[in-house]
Amino acid sequence: MTLDRAIAGIFVLICVIYGYTAFVTMEAGLLPFERNLTFLPNTMPKWLSILGAFIGLIVIVQSGPKEAGEIDPSEIDVRNLRQYKLGQAISLLVLMVAYALLLRPIGFLAATTLFICLGGYVLGERNYKLMVPIAAVAAFFIWYLVEQVLGIFLRPWPWLVYGGA
């Protein structure tokens, strides 16, 4: 089994579990008046699970076995993983987890600015005079859009500013 078929199989499994949740669990929790609405709270999850499972099945079916001598340059060679930049990928995953954990204690603006700066450093950017202001402006712009335009409250400052709550 090739790597893309294995990943597609895992994706189909996740979509089936998500679909079960949307079709069975969420359906049972609907209020009586919601059952007659055209667009229900679980309509989008239903369609996402169906579409995701369908696309995953297409990937599984279309990526059939290759002939013995055929080598596809775009395919990941599992036997030679050292040629890929796994250190960068793992570092970015660790950064994402750290970002999620630091989001509440140090606030959105500081956590996002740090994430963008450290992510840029991991990916090879070394121009700090340009990277830090761009990261700060981007973090502020994202916060402003989410807070003011979408109306979703994000704590921009560390938890100490809010009285430790």
The whole-number pLDDT of residue 110 equals 93
- 106 vs 139: CA distance, rounded Å: 13
CA 61-67-72 angle, 5° bins: 80
Reply yes or no on whether the pLDDT at 132 is more than 80: yes
The whole-number pLDDT of residue 53 equals 95
Question: Quick count: other Cβ atoms within 10 Å of Cβ 135?
Answer: 20
pLDDT digits (tens, 9 = 90+) for 66-119: 665 566 666 666 666 667 787 888 999 999 999 999 988 898 999 999 999 999
Closest C-alpha to 120, from 148, 85, 91? 91
Reply yes or no on whether the pLDDT at 129 is more than 80: yes
SS3 of residue 31 by DSSP: coil
The whole-number pLDDT of residue 94 equals 95
The whole-number pLDDT of residue 139 equals 94
Question: Quick count: other Cβ atoms within 10 Å of Cβ 46?
Answer: 17
3-class SS shares of the chain: helix, strand, coil, % to 5 = 75, 0, 25
Residue 131 identity (one-letter amino acid): M
Closest C-alpha to 114, from 126, 131, 130, 129? 131
The whole-number pLDDT of residue 146 equals 87
- Residue 23 · residue 46 · CB < 8 Å: yes
pLDDT digits (tens, 9 = 90+) for 24-82: 888 888 888 877 878 888 888 999 999 999 999 999 888 666 665 566 666 666 666 66
